[in-house]
Structure formats: structure tokens, C-alpha cells
């Protein structure tokens, strides 16, 4: 079968792997939304445009001003607004971590990346899950990766043929977001990582591969998001060692809750073993967020309260609500931030976005706290937190 398959594959590529259109973003923003994202009032922006401090805005067929993502970047630059870190500061490396599958890790990674990008931050997403859901949401061309020797798997192979982490990075449809995609080969990497892992020095080196890769590019991005594999093997350890902070999604259901306690214990043990290998991690923050939460569901409200008691101030105030809009968007391989046209009703769409905005504003606030300079750059994110604790 393998022989036949290899013979067939070149034929298949000609027939099935036709070059297809890649995802394009056609997002535009009205003056109000643009001003919101920039962190200034619409009046201030109109004034700067009138004075010639900013380029003249585009005018739509309806006579209204509108802006593209690139325009927002230009305006921020012209007004001296730095939404992210200063160039000498390192990126925040945030893992959306929970060993359970189906709790919303990939969905959150994708939506958080898009949210941060809208706010003007430079984001790198590293998809460490062989299932590659996040890569699909970013429309990564798996066919092209098939023959590539510049993948995450090549970089993480203990006898790495690839030393330059930068080569694994690809552009996405979002101008300020890049991705290190997952590929088929990542599924086998665990095995290669375990084989021949003997001696303290060698194990240490193998736990630290991703961390050292990321350190090559840590000053070039504001936030690096890690979507972890579903189990805690060598690959999982690499994610834990590379992260500087964790966001843990937990569905507020009893079974998920018990597995989360188990997960916390597991994390604590993992951190201890990393410590034992002199790979000590001291996370700058850990935040738990209730995910896929519905207020009406039996017992979920009670579970949310128990979760809050357990996590205290490490728990985000707003839960991520279960939403048809998220479910349907993900099915169409996109996030709810990637279109202004609701899939469900307009009400569901707005409710969903407002909820995500609130949750992610809390996360962005924590991210900004990691950069001492942010208090000096004139960026004020308090307005983002306004609707807190809905
Ligand atoms: N807030 C939400 N509302 C509705 N569906 C959701 C939500 N979060 C996740 N889902 C759905 O749950 C499924 C699993 O989510 P996923 O992000 O792939 O989980 P994980 O990465 O943890 O395995 C997906 O089909 C996704 O559409
Ligand atoms: Mg996933």
C-alpha cells in the first residue's frame, strides 16, 4: 500500500491539490469602531485627519469614512501609539493549557489571536497539536507542508536538521499575525523525542527545544500563543517549559471540573520535574477561564461559583459563553472576528462578540502588566474593561 501510495501521490497532487484561493480578510471598520480599537475618540481622529497628521480616510459608496487593518496600523504609528511592548522587552508566551480535549483550547487560541491583532499587537501562534485545528482555522496549506523540511517537527526533532526557528514561521491573512503551523509529522515527534533520551543533560535539552526556538524570535512579537498537544509527553513538556504564563479553559461542568483538579495536580508535578531538570518555570500569571458556559444549563452556575472559590483572583471575571455563532464560525474555519456578517442572528452575533471582547480585555490587561513600559506609552486600556462582570 505504501509503494502504491507513493506512486500515486504525484498524480494525486496534480489532480487534487490544485492551487486554491487562500483566505483573504476583507474587514473594514467605521469611524467609531476604528477609534475604539486605536484607543482614541472618533473626534480626535477626525481632527488629526483634518490637520493632515493622518492620511485622508477612505470613503465608502455610502459616503462614510472607513478603515482597513493596515490603516489602523498607520494611524497608530502616526499618533505614536504603541499598543504592545517596547522593542527591548520580550514577548509574553501564553499557553492555552488543559490536557482535556474539546474544552475550547484551539477555539480560544484562534479568537484571542484575532482579538490581539485587532488591538494592533504582533502575534505569533505556535500550533503544537498534531490535530492542527488552529492551523486549519488560519487556513494553513497542509499540502505545501507535506514536502517542506522547514516545519515545527523538523525543528523539534532531537537530531534537528533545522536550527533556525524563524524558517518555520508563516504569514496568515492577518497582517500582524504569523503562525508556526502543525503538520502531519508532529504526530511522530513524541516518539523521536523519547528515543535515545538518556542522561540528565540530554533530557534537559529535549525539554527545552521549543523554549530555545521561541527565544530566537521573542523580541519580534508582542504575544506568542501556544496551542498545546492533548497529552503531557515530551512535546507537552516543551510547551510548559516555553510558556511564561497560562490561560486554562475549564468548562463549568462537574466532570470537567474534577478533571481540572487532576490537571492542576498534574501541572504542579510537571513543574516540579522541570525544576528537577534545572528548567525551572515561574509563570508570571495563571488565569482560569470558564469556557463554553451557558447560564441556563443545569448546575453550571453552581459549578462556576465553586470554580471561583477554588481559583480566587486567578479566575477571570467573565466566562466565555457557549455560542452558536462560535460553533458555526469554527465549522466554516474562521473566527467570529473575521467577518461582519452574522451566521446566526444579529443579536447572537453581537452578544457573542461583546462577550469575547470582555474576556480577552481581561487577558490583554494581564499581558500588558508584564511590560513595565506600557504605563509610559500613552496606551490606556481601562475602557476595554468597562463592561466587566456582566
Ligand atoms: N464558546 C463556545 N461555544 C460554542 N462552541 C464552542 C465554544 N468553544 C468551543 N466550541 C466548540 O467545541 C469544540 C471543541 O473546541 P476546540 O477548541 O477544538 O477544543 P480543544 O482545542 O480544547 O480540543 C469545537 O467544535 C468548537 O466549535
Ligand atoms: Mg485543539
- In a shared domain, residues 158 and 45: no
- In a shared domain, residues 61 and 209: no
Asked, for residue 225, whether it belongs to a domain, the answer is: yes
Asked, for residue 3, whether it belongs to a domain, the answer is: no
Helix axes 105-118, 346-369, angle to 10 degrees: 80
All 3 cell numbers of residue 381? Answer: 486600556
Structurally, how many domains does the chain consist of? Answer: 2
The verdict on the CB of residue 351 being under 6 Å from ligand 1 is no
C-alpha to C-alpha distance for 318 and 356, rounded to whole angstroms: 9
Q: Whose CA is nearest to atom 11 of ligand 1?
A: 327
C-alpha to C-alpha distance for 152 and 168, rounded to whole angstroms: 6
* Å from CA of 366 to ligand 1 middle: 23
Kind and range of the H or E run holding 181: none
Q: Whose CA is nearest to atom 25 of ligand 1?
A: 327
Q: Nearest ligand, CA of residue 332? A: 1
Q: Whose CA is nearest to atom 15 of ligand 1?
A: 104
C-alpha to C-alpha distance for 130 and 145, rounded to whole angstroms: 13
Last residue of a domain, one of 44, 78, 112: 78
Asked, for residue 341, whether it belongs to a domain, the answer is: yes
Q: Whose CA is nearest to atom 26 of ligand 1?
A: 327
The verdict on the CB of residue 133 being under 6 Å from ligand 1 is yes
All 3 cell numbers of residue 312? Answer: 480566587
Question: Grid coordinates 477554588 are at which residue?
Answer: 310
Last residue of a domain, one of 78, 107, 142: 78
The verdict on the CB of residue 335 being under 6 Å from ligand 1 is no
pLDDT in tens, the chain (390 residues): 888 877 877 776 666 555 566 778 889 999 999 999 999 999 999 999 999 999 888 999 889 899 999 999 999 999 999 999 998 999 999 999 987 888 999 999 999 999 999 999 999 999 999 999 999 999 998 888 888 999 999 999 988 789 999 999 999 999 999 999 998 889 888 888 888 888 888 888 899 999 999 999 999 999 999 999 988 888 999 999 999 999 999 988 877 778 888 888 888 888 888 888 777 788 999 999 999 999 887 778 888 888 898 899 999 999 999 999 999 999 989 999 998 888 889 999 999 999 999 999 999 999 999 998 775 555 556 566 655 443
- In a shared domain, residues 36 and 114: no
Among 105, 226, 330, which is best to mutate for testing ligand 1, by the most ligand atoms less than 8 A from CB?
330
Q: Which residues, in sequence order, are bridge partners of residue 149?
A: none
The set of residues, in sequence order, having a beta carbon less than 8 Å from that of 254 and lying 6+ positions away, is: 299, 303
Asked, for residue 19, whether it belongs to a domain, the answer is: no
Pairing of strands 177-180, 58-59: unpaired
Q: What share of the chain is helix, strand, coil (3-state, %, to 5)?
A: 50, 10, 40
Last residue of a domain, one of 52, 78, 104: 78
Tell me how far the alpha carbon of residue 201 is from its chain's centroid.
Answer: 32
Amino acid at each position: 500500500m505504501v509503494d502504491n501510495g507513493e506512486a500515486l501521490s504525484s498524480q494525486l497532487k496534480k489532480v487534487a491539490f490544485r492551487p486554491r484561493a487562500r483566505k483573504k480578510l476583507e474587514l473594514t471598520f467605521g469611524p467609531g469602531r476604528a477609534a475604539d480599537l486605536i484607543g482614541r475618540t472618533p473626534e480626535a481622529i477626525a481632527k488629526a485627519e483634518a490637520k493632515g497628521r493622518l492620511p485622508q480616510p477612505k470613503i465608502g459608496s455610502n459616503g462614510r469614512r472607513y478603515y482597513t487593518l493596515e490603516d489602523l496600523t498607520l494611524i497608530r504609528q502616526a499618533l505614536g501609539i504603541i499598543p504592545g511592548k517596547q522593542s527591548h522587552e520580550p514577548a509574553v508566551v501564553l499557553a492555552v493549557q488543559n490536557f482535556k480535549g474539546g474544552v475550547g483550547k484551539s477555539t480560544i487560541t484562534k479568537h484571542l489571536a484575532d482579538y490581539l491583532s485587532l488591538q494592533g499587537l504582533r502575534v505569533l501562534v505556535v500550533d503544537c497539536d498534531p490535530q492542527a485545528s488552529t492551523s486549519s482555522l488560519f487556513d494553513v496549506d497542509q499540502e505545501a507542508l507535506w514536502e517542506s523540511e522547514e516545519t515545527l517537527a523538523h525543528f523539534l526533532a532531537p537530531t534537528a536538521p533545522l536550527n533556525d526557528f524563524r524558517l518555520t514561521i508563516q504569514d496568515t491573512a492577518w497582517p500582524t499575525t504569523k503562525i508556526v503551523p502543525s503538520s502531519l509529522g508532529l504526530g511522530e515527534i513524541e516518539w523521536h523525542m523519547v528515543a535515545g533520551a538518556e542522561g540528565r543533560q540530554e533530557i534537559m535539552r529535549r525539554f527545552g527545544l521549543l523554549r530555545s526556538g521561541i527565544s530566537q524570535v521573542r523580541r519580534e512579537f508582542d504575544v506568542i500563543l501556544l496551542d498545546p498537544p492533548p497529552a503531557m509527553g515530551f512535546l507537552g513538556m516543551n510547551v510548559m517549559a516555553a510558556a511564561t504564563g497560562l490561560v486554562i479553559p475549564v468548562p463549568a461542568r462537574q466532570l470537567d471540573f474534577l478533571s481540572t483538579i487532576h490537571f492542576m495536580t498534574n501541572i504542579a508535578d510537571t513543574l516540579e520535574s522541570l525544576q528537577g531538570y534545572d528548567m525551572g518555570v515561574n509563570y508570571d500569571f495563571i488565569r482560569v477561564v470558564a469556557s463554553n458556559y451557558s447560564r441556563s444549563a443545569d448546575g453550571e452556575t453552581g459549578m462556576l461559583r465553586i470554580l471561583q472559590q477554588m481559583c480566587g483572583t486567578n479566575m477571570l471575571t467573565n466566562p466565555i459563553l457557549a455560542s452558536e455563532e462560535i460553533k458555526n464560525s469554527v465549522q466554516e474555519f474562521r473566527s467570529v472576528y473575521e467577518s461582519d456578517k452574522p451566521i446566526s442572528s444579529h443579536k447572537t452575533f453581537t452578544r457573542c462578540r461583546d462577550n469575547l471582547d470582555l474576556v480577552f480585555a481581561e487577558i490583554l490587561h494581564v499581558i500588558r502588566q508584564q511590560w513595565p513600559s506600557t504605563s509610559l506609552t500613552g496606551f490606556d486600556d481601562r475602557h476595554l474593561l468597562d463592561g466587566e462582570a456582566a
